[in-house]
Amino acid sequence: MNLPNPRQVAFLALRDVRRGAFADVGLDRVLRSSNLNDADRRLVTELLYGSVRRQRTLDAIIDQLGKKKASQQPPDLRTILHLGLYQLRYLNHIPDSAAVNTTVQLAKENGFSGLSGVVNGLLRQYIRLAANSVEPLQLPENPAEKLGILHSYPDWIVQLWLEQLGEAETEQLCEWMNQPPTIDLRINPLRTSIEEVETALKSAGILVKRIPHLPQALRFIGNTGAIQNLPGFSEGWWMVQDSSAQMVAHLLDPQPGEVIIDACAAPGGKTTHIAELMKDDGKVWGCDRTSSRLKKLQQNAQRLNLKSIQICTGDSRNLPQFTNTADRVLLDVPCSGLGTLHRHADARWRQTPETVRELSTLQSEFLAHGETFVKCGGILVYSTCTLHPQENENVIQTFLDSHPNWQIEPPDPSSPAAAFTISDGWIKVWPHRHIMDGFFMVRLRKV
């Protein structure tokens, strides 16, 4: 299928997402089946992720300017209006006239010729208001609703952050999570040095910068092109891993010769980091119940030339063979991902308070079984990429209340994780403060 019009490609992908596809899957599907140049591919990506991310704001504008509420519009027409309004509100490099004309054309080409005048009128009304310095989006007084509509989040997520941060910082976090994600590298010290990677990338015209506190981390500045084509990738000099995720293995602090179990390992970023930190000397069990995801772990381990990693396919809640065998266990448990909403455009609409409750139950089960793997005197690190206390502090506190032989052990002052430690030994990474993915982690010792 040849689809040379990027806005039509974005419309088809958005229609897939509305029908249940994940945003990244819907995007990949249409990009593979279309024949677009790089600039148009970037535009499709921006339109898709932006329209999904900002859908509550865009719906509120339709509600206020249209004769019919967004929820009463034909679904495909609502998607077309989202595309037009997104360009007008958020894409400064696209002229207003181009945004209006292409959106009206989209309506005509997708069965809405009779309503193309409605599309034209609504978009031009938005432009008129903005030109007269009138904010087309009217906001309620309630802080959770106001920030939820302005920055496009469900009220319950905004309320959760308000309770932890207050209004000013919650707004900063909302704004941060709507920015495009950065890409960080973790260099493999068994194959290279951070200086060598910096030099090789600079020679290829790729700009990077170092990340404070994290000795293996580099962050790309600007466009990189295809990651697998960059210097050092095929040689196993580095892999992509966000800097906050790099902190987890440092907190675990694996030592050469130990037995380590990564109980929820796929796709293997933390597993391979553990092997690097223990100088590939010892045994690292990478466990996951999904064999297809474990293949990615095996590929990464091969590319990084790591020999200490063993694969175990199975649910970590049912692996009795590991009882009392591990010096250290990592439990990077499934979570709601509220610390990585900038990476997953549709995640804010997929998670609910109910899914969080279900996840916290699952996390407690993983913890109850994972702790049995640890030898007396050993270490367990629990981590998530969410910012919800119900999945973090509450899970750990409930566990500690019923397991008196476990205690929190703050990181050593020399650990990269020490700079992010808050009271009681919890480690919480807030994206707007630390400029990296949101994470929670805690180190526990079995006594």
Which residue numbers are catalytic?
385
Q: What is the number of other CB atoms lying within 10 angstroms of the CB of residue 32? A: 8
What secondary structure letter does DSSP report for 139? -
Show the tokens assigned to 375.
């030898």
The whole-angstrom separation of Cα 89 and Cα 94 is 10
Q: Are 237 and 191 in contact (CB under 8 A)?
A: yes
Q: How many CA atoms lie within 13 A of 88 on its CB side?
A: 30
Distance (Å, whole) CA 320 – CA 384: 24
**Do the beta carbons of residue 232 and residue 203 sit within 8 Å?**
no
Q: Which residues pair with 440 in a beta bridge?
A: 384, 428
Alpha-helix residue ranges (DSSP H) falling in 217-335? 243-252, 269-277, 291-303
Q: How far is it, in rounded angstroms, from Cα 263 to Cα 329?
A: 7
- Give the alpha-carbon dihedral of 416, 419, 424, 427, to 10 degrees: -60
Give the Cα separation of 160 and 391 in Å (integer).
12
Phi/psi for 187 (5° steps) reads -75, 150
Looking at residue 230, the DSSP 8-state letter turns out to be S
Count CA within 13 A, CB hemisphere, residue 202: 9
